Chain A
Amino acid sequence: AQSVAQPEDQVNVAEGNPLTVKCTYSVSGNPYLFWYVQYPNRGLQFLLKYITGDNLVKGSYGFEAEFNKSQTSFHLKKPSALVSDSALYFCAVRDLSGGYNKLIFGAGTRLAVHP
């Protein structure tokens, strides 16, 4: 079965420091991977995705993610964190089981960026 794991409930980082939010996946076949962000009391906003091509994917708000097939990981990164990056981040993987194209989401990681 397809699955995705976010091993950290919360990540704390100082403003200006690099940040990493971790995601690992388990899929059969080629993975389609996504990152979404949720600001307080808002819906999810799409950040970036990996479908094929370059392992380093660039997305919105200066975020990027690296697809690593050997480690089955798709960690979200940003070189210099902003306080406004504080939010809930979700990793997701495409699931084709049952013949339907759906997403499976991780439990989410809360990012707190401190001034």
Chain B
Amino acid sequence: DVKVTQSSRYLVKRTGEKVFLECVQDMDHENMFWYRQDPGLGLRLIYFSYDVKMKEKGDIPEGYSVSREKKERFSLILESASTNQTSMYLCASRSTGTQVERRRETQYFGPGTRLLVL
């Protein structure tokens, strides 16, 4: 079955630190996504990647960057963490290839990283 893993479940960082959040998927999916989840706001798309070394801004990219050097790994980088980046971060992946009906168009999510910036 599809497995998406994230490097940390909980993370505490100080303001100004550089923070790396790692996401790995094992299904050879082309597309990968980073979201942040905040109460009452649902999930908001930060960045996404359609293939290796490709990246596109989502709805709230400010303060973030990403890296996709290998197909299975998509990293989210907070260049200088701020308290307003305290949130739950969720990674997802999706295949664009020919898929059986039950997997077509479906994004698969990792367990999330809860980040606290002090």
Contact = CB atoms under 8 A, between A and B. Distances in A.
Note whether A and B form a binding pair. Answer: yes
Interface of A: 9, 32, 34, 36, 41-46, 49, 51, 90, 94, 98, 100-103, 105-108
A42 B43 contact: no
Nearest to B111: A43
Given A51-B104, A107-B42, A42 B48 contact: no
B69 interface: no
B83 interface: no
Given A90-B42, A102-B45, A44 B56 contact: no
Contacts of B108: 46
Interface in B92-111: 92, 96, 104-111
B90 interface: yes
B30 to A, nearest CB: 11
Interface in B55-75: 56, 58
A107 B41 contact: yes
Nearest to A45: B109
Interface of B: 4, 9, 31, 33, 35, 40-45, 48, 50, 56, 58, 90, 92, 96, 104-112, 114
Contacts of A103: 45, 107
A107 B110 CA distance: 19
Contacts of A44: 43, 90, 92, 109
10 contacts: A43-B109, A43-B110, A49-B106, A51-B104, A90-B42, A98-B56, A100-B48, A101-B96, A102-B45, A105-B43
A103 B108 CA distance: 12
Given A32-B105, A101-B31, A107-B41, 9 more contacts: A34-B106, A36-B109, A42-B112, A46-B107, A100-B56, A102-B33, A102-B45, A102-B48, A102-B58
A23 B114 CA distance: 27
B111 A42 contact: yes
A47 to B, nearest CB: 10
Contacts of A105: 35, 42-44
